[in-house]
Structure formats: C-alpha cells, structure tokens
C-alpha cells in the first residue's frame, strides 16, 4: 500500500517551503502519523551527514527531526553544492558524482535523474503513512519545466497534490498565487490544490475578502494564513544569500548570566557552507553572533569564527583582498581567540595542495596553525564522536581536504595553538557541555566576565522550535482539509486558468 503525499511548493525561493514542510511534518507526527520528508533536488551549501555516511541538505535533516525519524539519503536524493555562479557539485544518494555547469545539468543530466528520484519517493511512500515533499524555487519557472524533477515534474509523475506557499510580508502575494497557477499547463494546474499564506501581520479579517476573490478567480481555496513569528526559520539552505550585516537569526536576546556579553564575529567568506555551526553559539544567553566582511569588525570581537566554505582557496584570496587575513594573523599572534571550522581550519594552516576544488595546486595558507592540507578526490563523510576540553563531543565531517597536523595540541581531529583552534568537525558546538567549556575559555582569554548558562540545551531548543512550527499549522491551517489532500490527492474538477504554459 502506498502512503499519502503532498508537495509544498512556493511562489518564490524563501517563501517558507522548508518551514511549512517541517511544520506539517511535526503536526502529523503528533497525530500519530508515521511521516517522512522528501526533497527531490536541493541546492544548498548547508549539508548534513546521515548515520550511513550520506550527505543531504540540512533542511531535510531538520525535517526528519520534525518527523522524529532518522534522516536518510532517500529524503534528498539529489543535492547540488554551488562552487560558483556557473557550476555545482552533484551529490547523488549522498555521494558526490561530479561537477556540472548549470547548462550541463539542466541540459540533460537533471532529467536522467528522474527515475532515481521517483524510486526514492516510492520507497518512502511504501514505508510511511505520508510523505511531505518540498519543492524548489517556483513551480512556474517555465524555462526549466521541461527538465523539472523537483516541482511539477515530480508532482505529475507521482500524482501529488500541490500546496503553494506565498510570503505575504514581501507583498504581491495575490498576484504571485494567481500568476503561478496561470503559467502552468492544464495538466499541471489539475494538481494545484490551493494556497497557504505565510508571514501575515495584522487582522486576518482584512485579508479574507482578497482570499475570497482569489478563490473566485482560480477555483482554489486557501488552506491557512500563518502569522508572522520571529525566530522560526529552520536550518537555511543557501549560504550564498545570507545577509552580511544581519544577526544569525531573529530571536529574542536573552540576558547574560554573568556581567558581560560575549561578541562573536563570523567571517562571511565566499561559498560559505554550514554556517549553521554558529547557531548553537547564538542560542546561548548573552552571546551576540554577527557575520562580518571588514577587518575593523574583528577589533571588538571576543571570538572570530572562520566557517566552512566550498571554496577554500577562493575564501583565502577573499580574506587577503579585504585585509581580513592580516587581521586574523595579527589576532592569533596577540593570543585572541579564533576558531576555524572545516575550510576555515584548512586556510589557517601553512599550505594547501588543491588539485580538486580550485585546481590551483600549491597555495600558501595563513600559517597560523601547523597544518598541511592536501585535497583528495574522495570526500570524507563521517559522524565522529570524541572528547575535548574534558567534555564529550559529537559532530560530522564533510570535506575533500586531508589535514596533516604537525604540531600544537590535539583538538578534535585538528589542533590548537595558543588561542587559535581548528577542526573539520561541523556541529561540535551543539554538544552542550563542550560548548560551555569552550565559551569559558574564550571569555577568560577575552577578559570578559561572561558565564555560560548552566541549563541551555541546544537539542531541546530545536525541539521547541519544531513544536512551534507544528503549532502554527495546527492553529492556523485547516488541518482536516490538509489531511484530505494528503490522503486523497487534489480535488477533482479544478478549473483551468488561462493562458497556461507556453507551447
């Protein structure tokens, strides 16, 4: 027997598809439904390693957590990791299979993957009561429809009803809803069941006449109006779009336990990956985390984090061009705290031999840590467990660079010299005891009277966040109607809205 399904599409990127998908998943699992997430193709620099050693998008890993199931490669069979404006590494079923230009991927390779994608979805639907799928971008990207495997392409092939999410906070949501439907073919339109308004501020009664008119125009209902809430974003997909000037997340600032706050500056390197590593720092009361791109912004930071990147050599050049490299070297010499993670760890070393990622050969690093890095064609994908600063630590590794550590003190898989730490481990700061011990060292080195909160549980905060997403769906969506969609598919007889897709 095949389980039910639903595709959550959006009028635009960042309309809220990932959040709505996670919210629906958490609502369903609280109703006793065995549910799984699915995204056929994800473009993201934020990825995660499953227990079987497969690389998938972090958004799908978080959605799996919303479902209270272990994430697997089936949930995100195709992951594209941008290496620049024109090319991406293609990760298929959790393993890298090559680098392709956008033209090469959309010119044929994408369509070849449709069979694999449908097999993964069918396997999930054979195992779970329901599978909640997330689309990508907009389903009305008519230039890409022929080879689409993530929006209407998969909806048509798998017979999935489609719920279109629109971000009303941006404005133009009615035009976006109508235009999305009107640009689809008759066959695609038959699967567009209706709409969900996201991020609404104000009195819903003022919105209702517009929703009634939208129904009259399209024959499709609105399944809910979700209010605007701060701090509800789950792990973001695309590190290329992050605001350099913004804080890590929109959340209420908790008062510090000690007398001082701790200021963390994250170097916003090009092709920044897994910047979610610093979310655990931002969750600590009294820790202020910001992304920076100028050397003067490091001056008052108590800790500087050099994060992961899909372009280590490119990031190194960017740091030098902006004067940040000199500021980091000077900071290390002064004994002021620096943490390098993955690519950030590699560029802090003595030299890099890269014939894989940038193909630049031998490149001199910043020379802050006694480390030599050689890029291997085989990618390291592991879930290590260990101990550091007297505390247990868990993490995950995603990298081509192999580090040879020639000195310093051992720190996870990397090393420490003075107040500079380097490691390939992503996610280590989510280990509560280790994070507190690390922040105590940083505070002592910075001369700050900062005290980590004794009871901050990052895992518990994640669970609370997912429950809040489930609450949004339960309280502000027509859940009975949503379940009918999941169980029975799109309503019959939905009208065609001209002009439809171009021939």
Active site residues: 342, 426
DSSP 429: G
Q: Report how far residue 123's alpha carbon sits from residue 131's, in angstroms, rounded to the nearest whole number.
A: 10
Question: Bridge partners of 222?
Answer: 195
Cα torsion for 174, 176, 182, 188, to the nearest 10°? -110
> DSSP E strands: which ranges in 66-161?
78-82, 87-92, 95-101, 130-134
| β-pair type (4-10, 162-167) | parallel
Helix axes 173-182 and 204-218, enclosed angle (nearest 10): 20
Which residues are CB-contacts of 459 (< 8 A; sequence separation ≥ 6)? 430, 432
Q: Report how far residue 194's alpha carbon sits from residue 172's, in angstroms, rounded to the nearest whole number.
A: 17
Quick one: which of 338, 340, 364, 341 has its CA closest to 351?
364
In contact, 187 and 152? CB cutoff 8 Å: no
Residue linked to tokens 């990298």? 399
Question: Bridge partners of 38?
Answer: 133
Question: Bridge partners of 303?
Answer: 264
Residue linked to tokens 């898989």? 413
DSSP 295: G
Instruction: Tell the burial category of 461 from Cβ atoms under 10 Å away from its Cβ (0-12, 13-18, 19+).
Output: middle
**What is the residue-wise DSSP string for 190-216?**
TTEEEEEEEEE-S-HHHHHHHHHHHHH
Quick one: which of 234, 236, 240 has its CA closest to 82?
240
In contact, 407 and 415? CB cutoff 8 Å: yes
Query: In what helix (H) or strand (E) does residue 167 lie, and over which residues does it extend?
Result: strand 162-167
Q: How many residues does the chain have?
A: 503
Q: Report how far residue 357's alpha carbon sits from residue 315's, in angstroms, rounded to the nearest whole number.
A: 12
């Amino acid at each position: 027997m095949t389980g039910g399904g639903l595709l959550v599409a959006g009028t635009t990127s960042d309309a809220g598809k990932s959040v709505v998908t996670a919210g629906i998943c958490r609502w369903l699992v609280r109703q006793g439904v065995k549910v799984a997430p699915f995204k056929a193709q994800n473009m993201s620099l934020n990825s995660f390693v499953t227990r079987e050693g497969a690389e998938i998008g972090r958004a799908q890993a978080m959605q799996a957590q919303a479902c209270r199931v272990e994430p697997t490669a089936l949930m995100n069979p195709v992951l594209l990791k941008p290496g620049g404006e024109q090319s991406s590494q293609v990760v298929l079923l959790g393993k890298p299979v090559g680098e392709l230009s956008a033209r090469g991927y959309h010119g044929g390779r994408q369509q070849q993957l449709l069979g694999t994608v449908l097999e993964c979805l069918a396997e999930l639907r054979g195992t779970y009561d329901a599978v909640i799928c997330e689309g990508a971008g907009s389903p009305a990207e008519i230039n890409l429809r022929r080879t689409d495997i993530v929006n209407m392409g998969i909806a048509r092939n798998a017979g999935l009803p489609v719920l279109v999410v629109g971000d009303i906070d941006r404005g133009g949501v009615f035009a976006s809803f109508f235009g999305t439907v009107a640009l689809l073919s008759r066959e695609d339109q038959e699967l567009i069941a209706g709409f969900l308004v996201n991020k609404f501020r104000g009195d819903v009664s003022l919105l209702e006449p517009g929703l009634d008119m939208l129904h009259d125009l399209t024959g499709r209902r609105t399944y809910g109006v979700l209010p605007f809430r701060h701090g509800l974003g789950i792990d973001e997909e695309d590190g290329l779009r992050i605001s350099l000037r913004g804080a890590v997340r929109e959340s209420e600032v908790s008062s510090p336990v000690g007398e001082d706050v701790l200021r963390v500056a994250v170097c916003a390197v090009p092709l920044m990956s897994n910047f979610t590593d610093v979310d655990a720092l931002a969750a600590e009361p009294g820790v202020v985390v910001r992304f920076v791109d100028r050397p003067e912004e490091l001056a008052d930071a108590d800790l500087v984090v050099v994060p992961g990147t899909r372009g280590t050599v490119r990031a190194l050049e960017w740091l030098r061009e902006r004067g940040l490299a000199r500021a980091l070297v000077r900071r290390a010499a002064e004994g002021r705290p620096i943490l390098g993670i993955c690519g950030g760890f590699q560029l802090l070393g003595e030299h890099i031999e890269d014939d894989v990622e940038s193909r630049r050969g031998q490149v001199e690093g910043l020379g802050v840590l006694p480390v030599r890095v050689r890029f291997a064609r085989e990618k390291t994908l592991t879930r290590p467990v260990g101990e550091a600063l007297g505390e247990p630590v868990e993490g995950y590794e995603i990298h081509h660079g192999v580090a040879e550590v020639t000195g310093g003190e051992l720190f996870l898989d990397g090393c420490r010299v003075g107040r500079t730490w380097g490691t390939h481990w992503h996610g280590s700061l989510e280990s509560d005891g280790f994070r507190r011990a690390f922040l105590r060292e940083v505070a002592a080195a910075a001369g700050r009277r900062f005290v980590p909160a004794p009871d901050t549980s990052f895992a518990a905060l994640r669970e609370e966040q997912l429950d809040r997403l489930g609450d949004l769906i339960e309280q502000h969506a027509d859940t009975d109607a949503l379940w009918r969609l999941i169980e029975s598919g799109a309503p019959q007889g939905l009208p065609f809205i001209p002009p439809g897709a171009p021939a």
